[in-house]
Amino acid sequence: MRITANLIVSTSLAQQLQIWTLFATLFFFTGLFVSPATGGEVRVPIQERRTWSFDDSGVRFSNEFPGARLNECTRTGPAAYRILIQPENHPINNSAWYAFDVASDREQTIAVTLAYENGRHRYRPKISDDGGLTWNDLPSSAWSQDRETNEATLQLQVGPEPIRIAGQEMIGSRELRGWIEEMAQKAFIQKALVGHSLQGQTIDALRIGPAEPLNYVFIIARQHPPEVTGTLGMIHFVEHLTANSPQANEFREHFQTIVIPLMNPDGVDHGHWRSNMAGVDLNRDWVGFAQPETRAARDLFKQLAARPGARPFLLLDFHSTRGDIFYTQGDEHPTFPENFTANWLGAIQERMPDYEVRRRGSHSSNHVTSKAWGYEVFGIPSITYEYGDNTDRDLIRRQATIAAEEMMRLLLAEVKDKTAASPAAQPQNAR
């Protein structure tokens, strides 16, 4: 409870009363989330957790760890195995996530074919030989993809120590919760419980910066379980806001950044391709808000924005797709801060002449994404911030760092230039 209260800690008694009202409201909603009656039902088949042991060959496969995805396994030859990977439901976006352990009583090379139900091979295999702490690409000489069958076949050296194979380096709920705890050690960061997933896991937020002033940047990530590169970008971006640099220190004097790093913990733990446990794509639930995970984010952001004098400036939602791209409003859609998106992306492009900043601008009031919601409700730039599945990890770090610096620079200019104007004025296009 301490951490929940701290997110909204303040100084004056009047403010504290408001805050306790807010706290109570959040707690009230949080309580609702736990109830199956309002929190939705599990509507997807739950992946059976087990180990497949092939006694003749001494080979065994397992999906008995969080984030694993392996639905069936058969032996198809002396040293050949076929793994079936199923989505949690369909039709579904082709985010064909897989993750499993494999070991053998004796050292041998085996061929493992990944076959997908209602999907196609998408993620280049990664390998870890230390239980998921460190990851490498499986060398391209060790796997091939069949474009006709949409399958992939991996040549794996296996032995008594299990190796872990997955579609991306696994940054799952354990790793993200560890990161959240580590971040919350900093004096200027508070962790708060803001809701529960459909299966009752906590949904945590970080507040970066002091409780005042009430200028907000909202960040969410991992609505879609396999989107690890979006998580990497979010981590680098957020860590840059917490740096001990003159710019970050000044930014934190003027802005609170509210981060929900793990929107879909159940989906991540179950190795889902896309959905939460109700089989709902959370980034299609920002109008109906039928799911507890999206309601937690909505209620937090709306409650914070409703505080007297509060002013949201930006909503970023981190994802992964084929290549790096920003989905934004079009320049014809006015925002507060004015022209922020064009200025921000232009500044990133200027600092990265060897990199193409790609943007697609659009807005429709009947869209059902966080991006449409943020713009409709707050009139702020609301951006789906996408990294490619295969974007070089050092490039993700570099781009996220520059993007964080340019965001801080532009937003600081907003509050410093315009403090004298009317800081609490509502944006004209806020709806």
- Which amino acid type is present at position 357? V
Residue 164 within binding range of Zn ion, rule CB under 5 A: no
Shortest distance (Å) from residue 274 CB to Zn ion: 8
> Would you say 67 or 209 has its CB closer to Zn ion?
67
Shortest distance (Å) from residue 227 CB to Zn ion: 5
Shortest distance (Å) from residue 392 CB to Zn ion: 20
> Would you say 93 or 343 has its CB closer to Zn ion?
93
Shortest distance (Å) from residue 223 CB to Zn ion: 6
Tell me the window of 8-16, 105-113, 174-182, 311-319 that interacts with Zn ion (CB under 5 A).
311-319
Shortest distance (Å) from residue 296 CB to Zn ion: 18
Tell me the window of 28-36, 177-185, 187-195, 313-321 that interacts with Zn ion (CB under 5 A).
313-321
> Would you say 251 or 327 has its CB closer to Zn ion?
327
> Would you say 196 or 224 has its CB closer to Zn ion?
224
CA–CA gap between residue 86 and residue 186 (Å, rounded): 41
> Would you say 311 or 319 has its CB closer to Zn ion?
319
Q: Which positions from 318 through 357 interact with Zn ion, judged by CB under 5 A? A: 319
Binder of Zn ion out of 60, 122, 164, 224 (CB under 5 A):
224
> Would you say 403 or 408 has its CB closer to Zn ion?
403
> Would you say 62 or 384 has its CB closer to Zn ion?
384
Shortest distance (Å) from residue 266 CB to Zn ion: 16
> Would you say 251 or 385 has its CB closer to Zn ion?
385
Tell me the window of 27-35, 212-220, 315-323, 414-422 that interacts with Zn ion (CB under 5 A).
315-323
Tell me the window of 32-40, 204-212, 316-324, 399-407 that interacts with Zn ion (CB under 5 A).
316-324
Cβ-contact 112, 153 below 8 angstroms: yes
Residue nearest to Zn ion (CB): 319
CA–CA gap between residue 12 and residue 104 (Å, rounded): 64
Tell me the window of 138-146, 219-227, 358-366, 374-382 that interacts with Zn ion (CB under 5 A).
219-227
Torsion sign across C-alpha atoms 285, 287, 288, 289: positive
- What residues line the site for Zn ion (CB under 5 A)? 224, 227, 319
